[in-house]
Chains A and B, each alone.
Chain A
């Protein structure tokens, strides 16, 4: 899995691509979220439009990001959730946990409104 980060004004946009499945992925996502919070960002978008599939371990990685951000008083939104990944969110009820937007643009707009 690849991770990239950019700033859109005061919003950190973290993009994940590939497969989100545990192993080294867990540490790389944890690290980039932690660094982003340490840099002072309190509005974070994690864009997973480039993620082809997520397993239950990958779900744990997203949950950890959500919890870490919430504990730091930050707001985190997920964008680009494919139909396949949304299916897993629905059956596990994680759609009630994650704040999701269709696109990064929509998330940025919702942060500014």
Chain B
């Protein structure tokens, strides 16, 4: 079930340069703190946003700094949704989701963990791939108030 996401939106657009992900990291961390996510959940948000941005820059734009990556933070009463959009060709989602970087024969691989990390740390991860127009990763983290 898709929860309602409020109208508060913050858009950050960066050139495709890995070092500028640090700015996005600070924004993601500040928003998570503002929403009063516990520290571990805030770390999950920041780590996942960094992974999505890394994928967009490296695999979507092949490090072409002239192409922008958009991070749209949608702040709801009960959840944070982050839409990370690039203009790249997209990828085979099913193939990536089938891979398990924690399998013994993959544990020492130098790459292939980004989406696995996002799916492990967020409540929902989905992909919108539009051929010739780009790819958007949608990350959702729900606030768990009380117990």
A55–B54 CB distance below 8 A = yes
Nearest residue, chain B, Cβ from A84: B43
> Which residues on A are within 8 Å of B, measured CB to CB?
19, 21-23, 52-53, 55-57, 59-60, 63-64, 66-67, 83-84, 87-88, 91-94, 96-97
CB interface residues, B 20-63, toward A, < 8 Å: 21-22, 25, 39-40, 43-44, 46-47, 50-51, 54, 58
Q: How far is the CA of A93 from the CA of B110 in the complex (A)?
A: 14
B1-22 CB mask vs A (1 if < 8 Å, else 0) is: 0000000000000000011011
Indicate if the CB atoms of B47 and A19 lie closer than 8 Å.
no
A-side binding surface: helix, strand, loop or mixed?
Answer: helix
Interchain CA distance A22-B44 in the complex, whole Å: 20
Closest A residue, CB atoms, query B50: A55
Binding site for A on B (CB under 8 A): 18-19, 21-22, 25, 39-40, 43-44, 46-47, 50-51, 54, 58, 101-102, 107-114, 116-117, 120-121
Whether B50 contacts A92 by the Cβ 8 Å rule is no
Q: Are A57 and B121 in contact (CB under 8 A)?
A: no
Q: Contacts A56-B117, A60-B110 given; 12 further ones with Cβ under 8 A?
A: A19-B21, A21-B54, A23-B19, A56-B114, A57-B18, A63-B108, A66-B108, A83-B39, A87-B47, A92-B101, A92-B102, A92-B116
Most buried by B among A60, A91, A93, A96: A91
Task: Classify the secondary structure of B's interface with A.
Answer: helix
Asked if residues A53 and B54 are in contact (CB atoms below 8 Å), the reply is no
Q: Which of chain B's residues have a CB closer than 8 A to the CB of A94?
A: 107
Asked whether A84 and B54 contact (CB < 8 A) given A56-B111, A92-B113, the answer is: no
